[in-house]
Amino acid sequence: MNTRYLVLAGLLVTLLMGCRKDYEAPVPYTFSNMTGSGKFPTAIRQAINGVYTVTDGSDKFGAQVVLRWTYTHNGADTSHHLSVFTSNVGYFDMEPQPQTGGLAVGGYWRRLQDTEIGLVQLTVNVRRSGVVSPFTGRLATGDTLVVSGVYGDGDVTPTKRLTMTYARPLNPRPFSILAHRSGGRTSDLLPASENSVEIIKMASRLGATGIEIDVRYTKDGVPILYHDNTLNLRLIQKNGLAGPIEAYTYQQLNTLVRLVNGERIPTLEEALQTVVDETDLSFVWLDTKYIGSMQKVQTIQQTYLQRAKAAGRSLQIVIGLPSDDAVSLYRALPEKANTPVLCELDTSITRSINANIWAPRWTLGDQRAEVNAMKAEGRTVFVWTLDEPQFIREFIDQTRFDGILSNYACVVAYYHYSQQ
Amino acid sequence: MRRPGIYFPQAPIPGRWRKSIGAIFTTTPPELTEEIRVNVPAIDFNLQRGISKNWFITGRILTQVVQSNVGVGVRYARPLTDRLFISAGDDMHVWFGVLQIKDVFNSQAYGLQNFPNVSVGYRFTRDVQMTLKCEAILDAYYKSQVGTLAIERNAIRYNGLAVSVVIEQPLYGKKHVSLGLRAAYSNFNWQLWSLYDTFDRNLFYPQLIFGFIL
Amino acid sequence: MSHSLKFMAGVLIAVGLTLPARAQNRSVADTTRKRGPYAVVLSVGSGLSYYSTHLGVPAALSNEQVNRFGVPFTIRALWVPDHRLRIGLETGWTTMYSYRGQVDNTNSHVYVSAVPALVVFSMPLAWLSGDERSIARRLSLTGGSGAYIIHSRLDFDGTVQTNTLSLGWMAAASYTQPLGPRFRLSGELKWYDAVASENAAFAAQLQLNYRLVRW
């Protein structure tokens, strides 16, 4: 009888111990990061951008997808990537593959809600009078682009067919697709950690036209990107350090702390330099997670607005005010010129500080009256942080918000660009 | 012979009620609550009534003020030996939550879940009985509304499963308690409806069960 | 997180307070035993602990030295009613680990310890009344849940000391040897697991149990 007790107790303990499953989604493709557009000059890339109907592969990716080219710079070099956005929270990240004949791209696909990932290889063809042939760059009337190829699961060589036929151009309505935490959450198992320089470079491939980043100060006043209040295992590799990040100096963090995927915690300046120099992003939202003076962030905001202008970049950088404390910090600024702000609180506070952007929570619903009032006053309205795909569709179809902040920029991109 | 119990797979005397009141503490998964790891308590009330020698109906109310869960079910239980008992049953639950917080929430949601379950109970001594219960969690319906926008999911979906180990014995005097652990692996947990979990993964929800059998 | 602990305690106390009223109600068939003796037992113990999960030493450090051993200290107060199950509270202090290393000739040292604040449930494997000569009767199992206050100290480019709360659990098995009418000595093997911060230690302790009061 005693052994039964022990066995059952042991069952209890083992039940509790190694119980949490560790999910992973390792990327099976290594990018060559070839520079230059190769066989995909601007005109061809613009011709490929559009909404496509899926025939083969619709059981995996849905009946309709969005294709869109984005780029990143590295010094004087430019890398172009083709993304596909699906309605079931999926994205493809592909680069030109010059070694394959014709107009070929290859890379990986990923479904963000779980860990499904795989390789994909596609070629761009044109269908003319029922005949499909490789696309050479010229589109005559009656031609339809067909992007097709194979995809697979995990690191298995792709063999399943995928066929996407051009249906119509991308919805041209201006709309901000903002990626949360510089691109997405660490828990969504993206190739890079949230609030890192690495994910900023990826953000547009995930569907974003802009990003939201979380700003905090270290103990010695260096503005850095970090979301949580404390150093914890959600965000950093285990090293024994804990407690509020504001208790640590920049030197301590830079030497001893690494984000989950191995990156360093970036400074605000490093992040904005990356946005200006290396990406095609047009919007940065600096979320005020710090206490203490806002002046340092304001100075950096203005510096980088000027650098963007000098570089010919169309870039908006706004300071986000999520709380009454943040609004007080803003009010305490001696000089408020050239300091665009975004207010998350109610409309009256937004008016009292004359914020450029109003951004309420999505859990309040469509708020039609307030949104119309704010827009009539010349303000932009965003909503955050909306991830539920069915609600994203509702918000894009039924409301008048100018942009959505989401962890799943690919879904927002899908519903926005495919809207008719 | 019957001893006070709620989880132990043995029907109450036909026509008799048995009830318990206690709390169930659920540890939130880091994927959803991130930095904030808490043990959320819910008041847990169980009510059962014997129908015949082997059949009984079960009722349960769980509440956390802003959200609640009410379930009814039926169970068939029989002894295999004088110490080993088994039961099988099915419970239907409806959960609902409303959050109205100025400038934060104007949201509500409700849903239906079904729990087919089997239990194995072992009576160690006259006073100590242990139950192992396995449940499958099926989502039957989900509706969520923010402001005037609403979405619904109207399909039966396998959500996850849960395993509970519960000991029922006297604590002091004539008061019997249920003390146990429930390990649930599920895609969706009704208590965290307002976090709008979008992960299509089974997350681990460990729960501590404690109740006084009345 | 202390809110949830208080809530937990509050619920338990609230439920407990309604019991005298319910005791008057007709209850299902119960033991014929009269209300037996209740006691409160205080235990203090110490021993050796070993940090049992993976450690993360930053890659930037060279010449790393890791120490996983520590001396734990435990205080436990158990309410012993007239049946098997005992409920109590446990606290104490346990070193988790420390490591040191060098970055560019600068020394770095990290030390992590934990203070548990747990509600524990304990059960002897056999009823301890009457003849206590059987060894099996002196074995008991304990399990608990609650929070750990994790203390972390960094010495590198200055000193940083922080305390954070981490939810966790513990499990233990012990053997108790009676020493006298009020004293017992027990040897305990215990597993402390602060889940949220992924800190877990295995400890072997000797405890002195003192029966504070009996009524």
- The string of pLDDT tens digits covering residues A88-106 is 999 999 999 988 777 999 9
pLDDT value for C24: 28
Same domain, residue pair A164 and A184:
no
Last residue of a domain, one of A120, A147, A168: A168
Same domain, residue pair A181 and A164:
no
pLDDT value for C13: 42
Contact A240 C110 (CB under 8 A): yes
Contact A232 B35 (CB under 8 A): yes
Contacts of A389 in chain B (CB under 8 A): 198
**B179-207 average pLDDT score:** 94
Residues of B at the C interface, defined by Cβ within 8 angstroms = 2-4, 16, 18, 21-23, 25, 27, 30, 36-41, 43, 125-128, 167, 169-177, 179, 208, 210, 212-214
pLDDT higher than 90, residue A31? yes
β-pairing, B203-213 vs B17-27, is antiparallel
pLDDT value for A12: 54
pLDDT value for B160: 95
Same domain, residue pair A105 and A188:
no
Same domain, residue pair A255 and A401:
yes
Same domain, residue pair A352 and A258:
yes
**Binding-face residues of A in 155-174 toward C, CB within 8 A:** none
pTM of the predicted model, to two decimals? 0.90
Contact A228 B34 (CB under 8 A): yes
* Residue length of chain A: 420
pLDDT higher than 50, residue C9? no
**What's the pLDDT tens digit per position in A260-294?**
999 999 999 999 999 999 999 999 999 999 988 99
pLDDT value for C136: 67
Instruction: Tell me if chain B has a CB within 8 Å of the CB of C136.
Output: no
Number of compact structural domains in chain C:
1
Domain span holding position C78: 35-214
Q: How confident is the model at residue C4 (pLDDT cuts 50, 70, 90)?
A: very low
pLDDT higher than 80, residue B60? yes
**What's the pLDDT tens digit per position in B65-101?**
999 999 999 999 999 999 999 999 999 999 999 999 9
**B61-66 average pLDDT score:** 95
% of chain C surpassing 70 pLDDT: 79
**C125-146 average pLDDT score:** 72
User: Is residue C84 classed as helix, strand or coil in its secondary structure?
Assistant: coil
Per the domain annotation, does A99 fall within a domain?
yes
Q: How confident is the model at residue A20 (pLDDT cuts 50, 70, 90)?
A: confident
Nearest to C15 among B22, B40, B169 (CB): B22
**What's the pLDDT tens digit per position in A229-240?**
999 999 999 999
Same domain, residue pair A112 and A210:
no
Report the CATH number that the domain containing residue C188 is assigned in CATH. Answer: 2.40.160.20
Contact B149 A366 (CB under 8 A): yes
**B19-25 average pLDDT score:** 96
Question: What's the whole-number average pLDDT of chain A?
Answer: 93
Residue in chain B closest to A5 (alpha carbons) equals B124
pLDDT higher than 90, residue A47? yes
Q: How confident is the model at residue C132 (pLDDT cuts 50, 70, 90)?
A: low
pLDDT higher than 80, residue C58? yes
CB neighbour list of residue A354: distance below 8 Å, 6 or more residues apart: none
Residues of A at the B interface, defined by Cβ within 8 angstroms = 1, 4-5, 8, 11-12, 15-16, 19-21, 23, 89, 111, 113-115, 187, 228-230, 232-234, 345-346, 360-367, 387-391, 394-395, 398-399, 407-408
Contact B35 A234 (CB under 8 A): yes
Instruction: Tell me if chain B has a CB within 8 Å of the CB of C204.
Output: no
Q: CA dist B167 to A12, B130, B173, Å? A: 11, 4, 17
Same domain, residue pair A268 and A131:
no
Same domain, residue pair A57 and A103:
yes
Same domain, residue pair A149 and A186:
no
Nearest to A239 among C56, C139, C164 (CB): C56
β-pairing, A223-225 vs A90-96, is unpaired
Question: What's the whole-number average pLDDT of chain C?
Answer: 82
Tell me how many degrees the CA angle B31-A342-A338 measures, rounded to the nearest 5. 135
pLDDT value for A1: 41
Domains and CATH numbers, chain B: 17-98+113-138+159-213 (2.40.160.40)
Same domain, residue pair A395 and A374:
yes
Per the domain annotation, does C20 fall within a domain?
no
Last residue of a domain, one of A103, A136, A168: A168
pLDDT value for C33: 47
* The two structure tokens encoding residue C205: 């302790």
Residue A322's identity, in one-letter code, is P
Q: How far is B75 from chain A (nearest CA, A)?
A: 24
Whole-number Å distance between alpha carbons of C87 and C79: 5
Q: How confident is the model at residue A319 (pLDDT cuts 50, 70, 90)?
A: very high
Domain span holding position A285: 176-417
**What's the pLDDT tens digit per position in A355-394?**
999 999 999 999 999 999 999 999 999 999 999 999 999 9
Last residue of a domain, one of A106, A141, A168: A168
Q: Is the dihedral of CA C1, C163, C77, A11 positive or negative?
A: positive
CB neighbour list of residue A210: distance below 8 Å, 6 or more residues apart: A176, A177, A178, A179, A281, A282, A283, A284, A285, A316, A403
Nearest to C15 among B37, B39, B212 (CB): B212
pLDDT higher than 50, residue A327? yes
